[in-house]
Structure 1
Amino acid sequence: MAAIEQLGDWLGEFLGGRKGWFRRPQAGIYLWGGVGRGKSFVMDAFFAAAPVEGKRRVHFHAFLQELQVRMQDFAGQSDPLARVAREIAGQTRLLCFDEFHVHDIGDAMLLGRLLKVLVEEGVGLVCTSNYSPDKLCPNPLYRERFKPAIALIEKRFSVFSLDGGEDYRQRSTELEAWGSFHWPEPEDGGALIRQQLGLGDGALYDQVLEVNHHPLRVHAYEPQRAWLDFTELFATPRSAGDYLWLIEHFPQMAVGGLGRLGDYPQSVSQRFLNFIDIAYDRALHLQLYSSVPLEQLAEGGNAVDFARTLSRMRQLKAVPVVATPERG
C-alpha cells in the first residue's frame, strides 16, 4: 500500500510538471526488493490504472533486444543509441521497466546512456529490480563505467524498498502454475514427453530450425509446440532474441536434459536463467525434465540471480515421474 501511494503521488506530481523555478518532479520511481515480494504486481497494477497516453510496460531482456534491433536502423550515423532513445521518448510518456539489472558490460553501456537520454527528454520511468541502486553493477571490471547511471537513479528517482519479508510465489496453493517440473527425467526414449506435450501425428522429429539465422536442432515440433534439449538451447551462444523467437512460435514447450547447473560454465547457467526470465514474462507454458530435484539444480553453480529463477520455478507444478513397472 505504501508503494502504491508513493507511485500515485509521484505520477500526480510528474503529470503536473514543474512546481517552481528551483524544483522539478522526480524522473521516476525505482522499486527494489527480494524475489517474489510483489514489485512486478504493484507496477503492473499502477500501469493499468495510470491515465497516461503513450505508456509502455517492457521487460528487461525484450527491451534490450528491441534497442539493439532499432539501433541497426541508424547504422553509420552518429550515436545510434541516443537517436533510438529520442525516438522512444517521442512515442512514450510513461515507461514501466520490469527486472532492471546489470550483469555485463554491454547491458551496462546500453542502460546507462539510455536512462540519461530518457530522463533528459522527460519520460517518466518506473523500474523494478532485485537490487538497490548501489548494488546494480557489482562486477568491479566495469562498475566505474556504470557509476554515473547509479548516481542518476539516486539523484533523480524516488528509491523505494518493497520487501515485506515474504516470497509470495511460495504460496503455491494460491498461485496458478505456469508449467510443470518433472523429476527424474523419464528413461523411455521420450515417449512420455511426447505424450505430455501433446505432439500429434503431424509432428516433425529431429529437425534443424533457423532461429535468427542460427541453426537450432529440436527433438520435435509442430505448430504451437516444440520439444527441445537443454544442451542445444544453452550450451552454445544464444541471445535473448533467440528465446523470444522460440516462445513466439512455440507457446508450449518441453525442455529435457536439465542437470546440475554447476556442471556447466557460468555462461550456460546464465542463458538458462535468462530463458526462464523471458518465459515467465511471456507466459510460456513450460515443461522441464530434470535429472535432479529442483532444489539441487543450482548446486555447485555460480550463476547470478538464481534466487529469482528458483522462486519462479517453484511455481511450476511438481510432477514426479513414476517408472512403469515391468510386466512378468
Structure 2
Amino acid sequence: MPARSASASIASTLQQRFAEQLAERGLTADPAQQAAFARLAAWLQHQLGGRRGWLRRHSGGVYLWGGVGRGKSLVLDCFFAAAPLEAKRRVHFHAFLQDVQQRLLRFVGQPDPLALVARELAGEVRLLCFDEFHVHDIGDAILLGRLLQHLLHEQVGVVLTSNYPPAGLCPNPLYHERFKPFIRLLQQRLTVLELDGGRDYRPLSARDWGRYCWPTPAADTHLAEELGLTPDGAGEVLVVNRLRLQPLARSQDTLWLEFAALFEVPSATADYLWLCRHFTCLAISAIPSLDQRSLDVQQRFLNFVDIAYDSGVQLLLASAVNLDQLCVARAHADFARTRSRLAQLRPLPTDHRESQAC
C-alpha cells in the first residue's frame, strides 16, 4: 500500500476503534468528545504519515483540557488503546513524578541529569499520554516543565489532559511567573484543544470504587461492618517510607486509618503510592470538614484521592459531614476534580435518619 494511503487510513481506523470501544462499554460520545478524538486521530495520522514518518514530521503533541468529568480520560483511554504503536505509555501525575525522581538518582553527579532521563524515556516510548496534568508545587512544576522541554526535543509525542488551560497551570501567584516559560512551550509546541462545557459524567458512571459514609459515629459503625474489622488502634505500627502509622485495624489486604494519622502529618505522594500498592482496600475515618484544615492538609487529601482513584483500590471513607459540606468555604483549587471523583463512591445503607446520603 502506498505510504499516503496507509497514512490516510490511520485516522479512520482510530475513529472506528473509538466507536467500537464505546459500544463495548455501553457508551456514546457526545459531539465535543467526538471532535476531540477526531483531532487526536488527525494529529497521530500526521505524526505517522510520510516516508520517514515520525522523525520527519514530528509535531509536539496535543493538550486537551476541560472541566471535571467531561470525558477527557475516556477519550485518552480509547486513543491510547487504538494508537498503532508499541512504544507508548500512559501515565498519571503522581506515579510518573515518582518514576522521574527515581530515574534522576541514577544520574546524580552527571551534567543535566534531567536531559539524560528524557533521553532514557525517549528510548522506551515514542508516545507519552499524561492524564490529569496539574501542578501546584513549584518544585514539581519546574521539574515537569523542563522534562517536557527535553522530551519534545527528543521527539517524543506528548498528549496531556488537564482541568486547566495551559495559562491556568501553577496558579499560585507566588510561583506562576516562574512557570510562564513552560506555559509558552506548551502553547507553542502542542495543539491546545478545549473539551468544552457540558455535564459532569462521573456521577453517572457505573464504576463502584468504594463508599462514602456520614455522619460519625454511625459512619464508623457501618465502616467496621463493611470491612469486617474491629477498630482497636493497638496493633503494630506500620512503617511507610519515613512515616510511622498507627492503624485502627488491618488485615492482609485492608488498612483502616484515621484522617489525622495520615494527613495531619508531613506525609507525601510516595507514601500514598506505597499504600495503594500494598493494600487492595483502604479505609479512612474521622474525616472532618476540610474548611477547618490548612491548605497543606487539603492538598495531601486531594493527592491521596487522586492516587487511590487511579490505582484501582477500594476506598471507604467515613466523615463527620456529607460530601456537599466536605469543602465549601475554603476549597482548594483542585477540589472540583476530587469532589467529582468522590461523587462516584457508593452510599452505605443506614437507618440513621440524618444520614440519608450514607
TM-score (norm 2): 0.84
Tell me, in whole angstroms, the C-alpha distance in 2 between the residues paired with 1:195 and 1:59.
33
Unaligned runs of 5+ in 1: none
Q: Where in structure 2 are the equivalents of 1:202-217 lying within 5 Å? A: 205-217=234-246
Secondary structure, in 3 states, of the residue corresponding to 1:147?
Answer: helix
Amino acid corresponding to residue 68 of structure 1 in structure 2 = Q
CA shift, 1:113, in A, is 0.3
Secondary structure, in 3 states, of the residue corresponding to 1:257?
Answer: strand
Bigger share in strand? 1
CA separation of 1:18 and 1:257: change in aligned 2, threshold 3 A: farther
Whether 1:232 and 2:278 are equivalent positions in the alignment is no
Residue-by-residue CA offset, 1:39-94 (whole Å, 9 max, x unaligned): 00000100001110211000001111111111112222222222112111111111
CA shift, 1:304, in A, is 2.0
Tell me, in whole angstroms, the C-alpha distance in 2 between the residues paired with 1:167 and 1:254.
26
Whether 1:110 and 2:140 are equivalent positions in the alignment is no
CA shift, 1:164, in A, is 4.2
Q: Where in structure 2 are the equivalents of 1:169-180 lying within 5 Å? A: 169-171=202-204, 174-180=205-211
CA shift, 1:320, in A, is 5.3
| Matched-pair contact (CA < 8 Å) for 1:273–1:306 | yes
Q: Structure 1 stretch 26-35 or stretch 159-168: which is displaced more?
A: 159-168
Amino acid corresponding to residue 107 of structure 2 in structure 1 = F
Q: Where in structure 2 are the equivalents of 1:154-165 lying within 5 Å? A: 154-165=187-198
CA shift, 1:146, in A, is 1.2
Q: Which residue of 2 aligns with 1:265?
A: 294
Residue-by-residue CA offset, 1:121-145 (whole Å, 9 max, x unaligned): 0001110000011111222222222
Whether 1:256 and 2:289 are equivalent positions in the alignment is no
Q: Which residue of 2 aligns with 1:276?
A: 305
Q: Where in structure 2 are the equivalents of 1:75-154 lying within 5 Å? A: 75-154=108-187
1:196 to 209, 220, 226: 226
| Matched-pair contact (CA < 8 Å) for 1:258–1:289 | yes
Q: Which residue of 1 aligns with 2:213?
A: 182
CA separation of 1:39 and 1:156: change in aligned 2, threshold 3 A: same
Tell me, in whole angstroms, the C-alpha distance in 2 between the residues paired with 1:73 and 1:125.
24
CA separation of 1:3 and 1:318: change in aligned 2, threshold 3 A: same
Secondary structure, in 3 states, of the residue corresponding to 2:123?
Answer: helix
| Matched-pair contact (CA < 8 Å) for 2:138–2:170 | no
Whether 1:314 and 2:347 are equivalent positions in the alignment is no
Tell me, in whole angstroms, the C-alpha distance in 1 between the residues paired with 2:348 and 2:101.
39
Tell me, in whole angstroms, the C-alpha distance in 2 between the residues paired with 1:319 and 1:193.
8
Unaligned runs of 5+ in 2: 1-33, 354-358
Tell me, in whole angstroms, the C-alpha distance in 1 between the residues paired with 2:246 and 2:43.
49
CA separation of 1:224 and 1:205: change in aligned 2, threshold 3 A: farther
Secondary structure, in 3 states, of the residue corresponding to 2:248?
Answer: strand
| Matched-pair contact (CA < 8 Å) for 1:182–1:321 | no
Tell me, in whole angstroms, the C-alpha distance in 2 between the residues paired with 1:275 and 1:309.
10
CA shift, 1:268, in A, is 0.2
Q: What is the number of equivalent residue pairs in this alignment?
A: 318
Identity %: 54
TM-score (norm 1): 0.91
CA shift, 1:213, in A, is 3.2
1:67 to 75, 92, 100: 100
Higher relative contact order (CA 8 A, sep 6+): 1
CA shift, 1:267, in A, is 0.2
| Matched-pair contact (CA < 8 Å) for 1:184–1:321 | no
| Matched-pair contact (CA < 8 Å) for 1:207–1:219 | no
1:56 to 79, 89, 94: 89
| Matched-pair contact (CA < 8 Å) for 2:222–2:348 | no
Secondary structure, in 3 states, of the residue corresponding to 1:298?
Answer: coil
Tell me, in whole angstroms, the C-alpha distance in 1 between the residues paired with 2:251 and 2:233.
6
Q: Which residue of 2 aligns with 1:296?
A: 325
Whether 1:245 and 2:278 are equivalent positions in the alignment is no
CA shift, 1:195, in A, is 2.4
| Matched-pair contact (CA < 8 Å) for 2:58–2:155 | no
| Matched-pair contact (CA < 8 Å) for 2:64–2:160 | yes
Amino acid corresponding to residue 129 of structure 1 in structure 2 = S
